[in-house]
A and B are shown apart, each in its own frame.
Chain A
Amino acid sequence: MILSKGLSDMGRRVVGVFLLGVMAMALFVAFAPPAFAEGEMIGTRLRYTEPNSGERVAVSGVSLTVEDTSGETIAEGVTDADGIFEVEVPGSGRYGLTIFPETLPEGVFLADPDNPTKLVEVLVGQTGRAIFQLVNENELAGLGQTSTITFRRVAQLTVEGLKFGVFLAMAAIGLSLIFGTTGLVNFAHGEMIGWGMLWAYLFNFYGFAGMFGFMEGWPAPFGDGVNLIFATLMAIVMGLGLGWAMDKFIFAPLRARGTAVISAMIVTIGLSILIRYVYLFVFGGVPRFYRDYTAQVGIKIGVIEITPKDLITGLLSVAILVLVGLFLQRARMGKAMRAVADDRDLAESSGIDVQRVIRFVWVAGSGLAALGGVFIGLSEQVSWNIGFRILLLIFAAVVLGGLGTAYGALVGALIVGVGIQVSTLWIPPELKNLGALVLLIVALLIRPQGILGKAERIG
């Protein structure tokens, strides 16, 4: 204990330097303002059949909002005299367009009142359009209120859920392993996902100049953007580095001091806010898209439709997860990790260098989170606050599977991924995370140690 007190002063200073470093980085990473393609719009035109004259009439003054894939509203407005609503969106990609039926004039109804939100795919430089079918009283009476749950939709949502689930698993494993080996719930884990996502963007658009401003104007990998594949590799390296730095400069010294995990947890909360808002400062608040592979047309496989990029990254993720599993089963370090997670004291007394294992877990977990971040960014969008938006889902996944177990995180992530996608059959997409929360709470009520976890020790 006396030894750790001696260390602690140095440890504190190092931590302070690191935090200042993060802030300084934010100040000095000066790079050119983003230049994304312009002209993407989203719109709709509302008309209905006037029951007396039988004419198609424009419906004006109806409120609509545009949401991005996270459910954040990015634009709102009303239809003009021609029944037209059009707004600019930050880039190509998928958006939700929501109509507010209560703002429809009297006698006009939504044919499908259960689905006020349409998913719209906006291609580069084009306007994505949605159609809302409006009906008058007579037509409304004639509409059979059939539910629209079809096998095709279920299959499609399941596949999308699985895809998101494997991304989530990759991103979440680190959180679970860090908890398993140190007892720390890392609330900054989401920011580690954002870290990979954003670095890939920077490399993708600006190359190394994204990091070292003076390189601007140099040839491709240095002064200019590189293909996303290389950018991804570089983002992984940055991810590994972040995990190393976080443990080396913050959490290892805190452990050496004997700081309670609860305090360390509050430190992670502080870090997460700091880092997230540094992202906002550097990157801006508007969601963006990677330069490559962004707008892709889906290919049909049986009843489902999937874009090539989603297919490839999904399969790649499965392969990586299999490798992680093999590593945990076979490799010496993998076994050591499981041993530490299982019983830290026992592992220590049987000669395992626990601190080294923990360092490795931080590095590897952060690397996987970074890669997960890139895949999610590619599949959806690149945004500064992905870390917070995804945190709930990661928590739901690891708690469901069993906090502290790697396989648990995998199982939990797949359940959460599929669960929230399929739940959109019944609940509006903007509330789909509610499903994850409900899942989390039900899991805690029924089996708090999670599917693969084990009960804790008392006394």
Chain B
Amino acid sequence: MPGVFGAIDWLFIFEQTLNEAVDLNAIVFALAAIGLNVHFGYAGLLNFGQVGFVAAGAYGMGLAVTLWGLNPFLAVVVGMIFATIFALFLGIPTLRLRADYLAIVTIASAEILRLVARSTAMRNITRGPEGLNEFVGPFRELSPFNPSVSYGFGPFTWRGNQFFTVVVGWTLIFFFVFLVWQLMRSPWGRVVKAIREDEDAARALGKSAYWYKLQALILGGIIGGFGGMMLALGNATVQPDFFVAPLTFFFWLVLILGGAGRVWAPVLGSVIFWGLITFIQNLGRQLVDAGLIPTSIMDTSQVDQIRFWIVGAALALLMIFRPQGILGSKEEMALDAH
């Protein structure tokens, strides 16, 4: 049916797809998933509230500027401190207990954090649902790029400010991937992986499982917090309703897709995820607009919901059929089923 394909602007779809695969969203997801990889992939911590760390980082950095007028570098430090505090809040009560308790507390706390941030009671600080909007100036002053000039080539083209975010974001990604790689080949990483396998065995050999889990939770949380800071910089805003609970499971999907416990997995997962989502969504929207999908079945706003179906189904199906993801090894997974 040539008519079907004629109605669709394939070039636009492919350009969008390639661009989104490395743009701000992919950066934020990659960072959040690198943090999650430290948590789940290496330390075996079931963090179902990673979005809370992302929010903590974003709010920490934003508030440092809007509330306390700190300079950008200190603001980043405040973002890290916020993520650390959130990690302590979650970790201290739960890390001595079975793994599921952390899962329960994290999923609840991340949502509560969002509700508190958007609440009336906090309005003077967090500005409620509108969020923080006036913090990005000092950061942009650091940018060497001209805001009104386009940088890059082909589909990978951005205006100065966005280009700045993309460059900083990918630099952070490479930095944290390297950091995780170094940690996980060191004795520190060995202890953390041992705790993932069997915490009591590690304790019997003289390792404080609690302390290492707390360190891993903080580290992964801070990396997630950097995801939040990138998000804040890229969008020039921090709004509570961005940090909804399902986002955490997008990060999970990104991680599992790449292969938990592999250093590059979160990055690969994020790039593929955003490429795919953009492709499907743009195609879906165009199909609806062109009348090829009748609106009685689905309208354009519902096309956007499909993303959640895909994420939910993909997460469940991946865990069942290919828990090792793209980069993981099947043999290693088989060891679990003993």
Q: Which residues of B contact A431 (CB under 8 A)?
A: 115-116, 119, 121
Residues from 383 to 400 in A contacting B, C-beta threshold 8 Å: 388, 391-392, 395-396, 399
Q: Which residues of B contact A459 (CB under 8 A)?
A: 200
- Taken residue by residue from 170 to 193, chain B's Cβ proximity to chain A (1 for < 8 Å, 0 otherwise) reads as 000000000000000000000000
Q: Which residues of B contact A448 (CB under 8 A)?
A: 96-97, 101
Residues from 105 to 137 in A contacting B, C-beta threshold 8 Å: 116-117
- Taken residue by residue from 308 to 324, chain B's Cβ proximity to chain A (1 for < 8 Å, 0 otherwise) reads as 11011111111111010
Asked if A272 is at the interface (CB within 8 A of a chain B CB), the reply is: yes
Asked if B124 is at the interface (CB within 8 A of a chain A CB), the reply is: yes
Q: Which of B48, B98, B308 contacts A456 (CB 8 A)?
A: B98
Asked if B15 is at the interface (CB within 8 A of a chain A CB), the reply is: no
Asked if A57 is at the interface (CB within 8 A of a chain B CB), the reply is: no
Contact between B103 and A265 (Cβ–Cβ < 8 Å)?
A: yes
Say which one of B17-25, B216-224, B230-238, B245-253 lies at the interface with A: B245-253
- Range for the number of chain A residues in contact with chain B: 35 or more
Q: How far is the CA of A342 from the CA of B98 in the complex (A)?
A: 17
Q: How far is the CA of A434 from the CA of B118 in the complex (A)?
A: 13
Q: Which residues of B contact A1 (CB under 8 A)?
A: 337
Contact between B309 and A277 (Cβ–Cβ < 8 Å)?
A: yes
Residues from 81 to 101 in B contacting A, C-beta threshold 8 Å: 92-94, 96-101
Q: A258-B338, A266-B252, A437-B108 are in contact. Are A399 and B101 (CB under 8 A)?
A: yes
Q: Nearest chain-B residue to A427 (Cβ)?
A: B121
Contact between A271 and B316 (Cβ–Cβ < 8 Å)?
A: yes
Contact between A428 and B121 (Cβ–Cβ < 8 Å)?
A: yes
Q: Which residues of B contact A434 (CB under 8 A)?
A: 112, 115-116
Q: How far is the CA of A19 from the CA of B246 in the complex (A)?
A: 19
Asked if B256 is at the interface (CB within 8 A of a chain A CB), the reply is: yes
Secondary structure dominating the interface of A:
helix
- Taken residue by residue from 219 to 260, chain A's Cβ proximity to chain B (1 for < 8 Å, 0 otherwise) reads as 000000000000000000000000000000000001001111
Q: How far is the CA of A73 from the CA of B316 in the complex (A)?
A: 31
Contact between B46 and A265 (Cβ–Cβ < 8 Å)?
A: yes
Q: How far is the CA of A278 from the CA of B311 in the complex (A)?
A: 12
Q: How far is the CA of A264 from the CA of B337 in the complex (A)?
A: 12
Contact between A270 and B249 (Cβ–Cβ < 8 Å)?
A: yes
Q: Which residues of B contact A436 (CB under 8 A)?
A: 108
Q: Which of B48, B93, B116, B129 contacts A444 (CB 8 A)?
A: B93
Secondary structure dominating the interface of B:
helix
Residues from 229 to 273 in B contacting A, C-beta threshold 8 Å: 245-246, 249, 252-253, 256
Asked if A346 is at the interface (CB within 8 A of a chain B CB), the reply is: no
Q: How far is the CA of A458 from the CA of B317 in the complex (A)?
A: 33
Contact between B100 and A265 (Cβ–Cβ < 8 Å)?
A: yes
Contact between B123 and A395 (Cβ–Cβ < 8 Å)?
A: no
Contact between A399 and B104 (Cβ–Cβ < 8 Å)?
A: yes
Q: How far is the CA of A444 from the CA of B97 in the complex (A)?
A: 9
Q: Can you list 28 A-B pairs with a CB-CB distance of less than 8 A? A: A23-B313, A30-B296, A76-B129, A116-B120, A259-B320, A264-B319, A267-B319, A267-B320, A269-B252, A270-B311, A270-B315, A270-B316, A270-B317, A270-B318, A271-B312, A280-B305, A281-B305, A392-B112, A395-B107, A431-B115, A431-B119, A434-B112, A437-B108, A440-B105, A441-B105, A444-B93, A444-B97, A448-B96
Q: Given A185-B104, A269-B315, A440-B105, 10 other A-B contacts at CB below 8 A?
A: A23-B309, A185-B103, A260-B337, A270-B316, A274-B316, A388-B111, A399-B101, A399-B104, A434-B116, A437-B108
Q: Which residues of A contact B (CB under 8 A)?
A: 1, 12, 15-16, 19, 23, 26-27, 30, 71, 73, 76, 98, 100, 102, 116-117, 185, 187, 254, 257-260, 262-267, 269-278, 280-281, 388, 391-392, 395-396, 399, 403, 427-428, 430-431, 433-434, 436-437, 440-441, 444-445, 448, 456, 458-459
